Chains A and B, each alone.
Chain A
Amino acid sequence: MQLFIQGLGQAFQPVSMLYILAGVIWGIIGGAIPGISASVAMSLLLPFTYGMDPLYSLPMLAAVYVGAEYGGSIPAILIKTPGTGAAAATVLDGYEMNRKGLGGKALCMSLYAGVLGGLISIFILVFTVIPLSQFALKFGPTEYFWMAIMGLSVVGAVSGNSPMKGFISAVFGLFLAVIGMDSFTAVKRFTFGINRLSEGLEMIPVLVGMFAVSEVLRQIFGGEVFESVKNKFKMTYPTRKEFMQCTPIVIACGAMGSIVGALPGAGATIASWIGYSETKMICKNTETFGTGDIRGVAAPESANNGVPAGGLIPLLALGIPGSNSTAILMAGFTIAGISCGPMLFVNEPEIPYKLMACMFVAQIILAAVGLLILKPLIKLTSVSKVYLTSAILVFAFVGAFATLNDVFASWMVLLFGFIGFLMKRYGFAPPAAVLGFVLGELVENNMRRALQLSHGSMSVFFSSTIDWVLIVLTIFGVCFPYITKFISKKRAERTAAKEA
């Protein structure tokens, strides 16, 4: 703790804060542009860190990571285009709030949840960096498998009126993750003879297509794009009651995000979906989720902003980067001539705690920058629909192009946009398909790995305490919406009978 406080003293130095500010702004821009994720934004900055003092270069890289996790939520809320995979869960309620004219409120809650969730995870990091890294090592293939299944339990919440079509949508998403070369046997699966599909479908084109382009096509088909904009610019903020209601969710999801961040290979996308599904499971009156419920913005945003600090746990304590972004941060350490791992805490303990302190300051700077850009961002939504729609399309295609530097990615956006449009039209749930796609690789790889280790025995999936905890949470998550619906129906019947 003393080292952390010392680190805070250094992080609040004006020069240090300037570098962190630059990192946060760059991160927000990178996160807000589809195709330029946190890792891409960090990698673009990496060459500039050569020759820089590590006291400034490492905090700046970490600040980019912090800024990007928030930045992804901006286009997710305003134009239904998640800037990063981690913001996909935010689309569900954030965009619905924006459609109701509550975009400012959604952005404000996203900022509040992101900053508070990030701060919570930093505190967790400071106190538990060593024990949490040991806990993360206990996660084997079955635990990862059940964790992904637990993330899928939210399907009921995003299925709309037909749970069966929602289930088919989720399985369709799992199938999309199968496309490409099998990582175990190198067999090409469902590539339709297209070589570019050998490496599988890129996440950003699928997300942008399913969410943004399908929405544009829906609006055009429904004639909404011809409607003139009646709502003039109006800024809304969350009420005190809403802040009070969301704060426990934010704290819990921030803590959960830091734990998920500590698991190598999990990352912010999975954390945000778990945050969303667990909040839906635990909270009362959850039938409004998916229709513009502010808790549906707070939960995933807090969870994904908790991940950067959590991601530092295996990186700093074990020298294992758990995600692309932490791998780039590790490259930053290498450029600075510092080796990550257990010896870092023995030889140079001030460095990891200084980095944690800088991430703490980055969260505070993020809050200030986020508040400053809130109003200009909301003004964007009062632009004429025709111009906004055409800009979204160009943005979507260029963003996807940026992921592969190939127009093939833009064609994928169009294909998945059309698929998403048809799914919506016929009562399926594109968000469930996205959820399946995001978690698909984790489900299949860990299921097969576990079965190989057990020589085909299914008992391996029920062999540890962590497995059982995750199974119980999954069953609870699947059944809970139906149980609450049943209870409220019975209550309503009883009240009606009494009144009669």
Chain B
Amino acid sequence: MKNFMNRERIIALVCLAFAAYIWIVAGTFPASFLDSVGPAKYPRLLASLIGITAVILFATSNGPVKPIKGKREFRSLAYILLCIMIYLLIFTRIGFILSTIAFLLALTLYFDHRELKTRLKIAVPYAVCFSVFLYFFFAKLLGVLLPSIVL
């Protein structure tokens, strides 16, 4: 059973489910007398292409599948995703400069494995200078409306 439902076949089933989702949702689009082709046919064509390819993938994925090589740093991945989400949440609330300084410090202090004192010596000036430079470059020179500074 483990060999039958290998990784590739699970991927094929996910693709098939995705194709089915597109097909079903496209069926809910209202037709218009202005357009003889309609808004649903093209997404359904794409769903069919994904579905057919997924079926072929399922049928041709026999036997054991090679495991994916390399390290797996689940904790680091979860940490970076969490940091990014917090950064984007506080970005508009506390302003660009403060949020970016906090984000850069959170990343550099975690991923740099040197002594804390050495890390701080480099990370703090880097985070402050890079954030301030980016703010002035984007907001003042290019006119991008970055969330203003809150101090």
A387: which of B71, B103, B108 is its contact (CB, 8 Å)? B108
- Chain B residues, Cβ within 8 Å of A175: 22, 43, 46, 50
Does A394 lie within 8 Å of B100, measured CB to CB?
yes
CB atoms of B39 and A172 under 8 A apart = no
Chain B, interface size category, equals 35 or more
Proximity string of chain B (71-112) to chain A, C-beta cutoff 8 Å, 1 when within and 0 when not: 111101100110011011001100010001001100110011
A168, B113: Cα distance in complex, Å: 40
In the complex, what distance in Å separates the CA atom of A393 from the CA atom of B80?
10
> For window 24-75 of chain B, which residues contact chain A by CB distance below 8 Å?
25-26, 29-30, 32, 34-39, 42-43, 46, 49-50, 53-54, 56-57, 60, 68, 70-74
When distances are taken between beta carbons in the complex, the residues of chain A under 8 Å from B146 are 398, 401
> In the complex, what distance in Å separates the CA atom of A164 from the CA atom of B11?
12
**Chain B binding surface SS class:** helix
A interface vs B, CB < 8 Å?
33, 36, 44, 164-165, 167-168, 171-172, 174-175, 178, 182, 184-185, 187, 189-190, 216-217, 220-223, 225-226, 384, 386-387, 389-391, 393-395, 397-398, 401-402, 405, 407, 410-411, 414, 418, 425-427, 444, 447-448, 451-452, 455-456
Cβ B72 vs Cβ A452 within 8 A: no
Which B residues lie within 8 Å of A220 (CB)?
Answer: 73, 76-77, 80, 111
Contact B50 A394 (CB under 8 A): no
B145 CB within 8 Å of chain A: yes
* In-complex Cβ contact of A402 among B35, B76, B104, B144 (8 A): B144
For A395, the chain B residues whose CB sits under 8 A away are 134
Chain A residues lying within 8 Å of B143, measured Cβ to Cβ, are 44
Contact B36 A456 (CB under 8 A): yes
Alpha-carbon distance between A190 and B50 when the two chains are bound, in angstroms: 17
The 10 closest A-B pairs by CB, nearest first: A185-B32, A223-B71, A390-B107, A182-B39, A386-B111, A402-B144, A184-B35, A187-B39, A448-B37, A221-B77
B4 at the interface (CB under 8 A from A): no
B151 at the interface (CB under 8 A from A): no
When distances are taken between beta carbons in the complex, the residues of chain A under 8 Å from B84 are: 393, 397, 414
Q: Which residue of B lies closest to A213 (CB)?
A: B84
**How many angstroms from the CA of A427 to the CA of B25 in the assembled complex?**
27
Q: Is the interface of A mostly helix, strand, loop or mixed?
A: helix
User: Are the CB atoms of B144 and A225 closer together than 8 Å?
Assistant: no
CB pair B104–A394 under 8 Å, yes or no, is: yes
Contact of B107 among A178, A393, A401, A410 (CB under 8 A): A393
Q: What are 21 A-to-B residue pairs whose CB atoms are below 8 Å? A: A44-B142, A164-B60, A165-B11, A178-B46, A184-B32, A185-B39, A187-B29, A189-B39, A217-B77, A217-B81, A220-B77, A222-B73, A223-B76, A387-B108, A394-B104, A398-B134, A398-B146, A401-B91, A402-B138, A414-B84, A452-B36
Q: Which of A222, A223, A447 contacts B42 (CB 8 A)?
A: A447
Alpha-carbon separation in the docked complex, A411 to B70 (Å): 28
The residues of B that contact A182 with a CB separation of less than 8 Å are 29, 39
Segment 115-148 of B: residues with Cβ below 8 Å from A: 122, 126, 130-131, 134, 138, 142-146
Complex Cα spacing A448 to B72, Å: 46
Q: Determine the chain B residues whose CB is within 8 A of the CB of A402 once the complex forms.
A: 138, 142, 144
Shortest CB distance B7–A (Å): 8
Contacts of A401 in B (CB 8 A): 91, 144, 146
Out of A165, A189, A405, which one reaches B144, CB within 8 Å?
A405
CB pair B85–A414 under 8 Å, yes or no, is yes
